[in-house]
Amino acid sequence: MISLHDELIVAAISQFEAQARRAEANLRVYLNSAAGVSEHPDVVGEVMELTKKVAEARECVAVLDELHNE
């Protein structure tokens, strides 16, 4: 039986992994077809923001993994 502690950590990790995947998918769109994303005039700024979102989500997963393995 999974403990509540483990269940909470696994749920949080799942959320952060989904956030990272979403940001990565959007980032790939910008990097592979920036001309196709005309509603965003600051493509570089958007690429930077998405990169930060990916990094933050991955960092959060690493922290939770570390806490889960203690």
Q: Whole-model pTM above 0.75?
A: yes
pLDDT for the residue 30: 86
Number of separate domains in the chain: 1
* Tens digit of each residue's pLDDT (9 = 90 or more) over 36-65: 566 667 888 989 999 999 999 999 999 999
Structure confidence at residue 34 (pLDDT): 62
Q: Give Cβ neighbours of residue 1 (< 8 Å, ≥ 6 apart).
A: none
Coil, strand or helix at 43: helix
Of 65, 52, 67, 66, nearest to 13 (Cα)? 65
Parent domain of 64 = 4-68
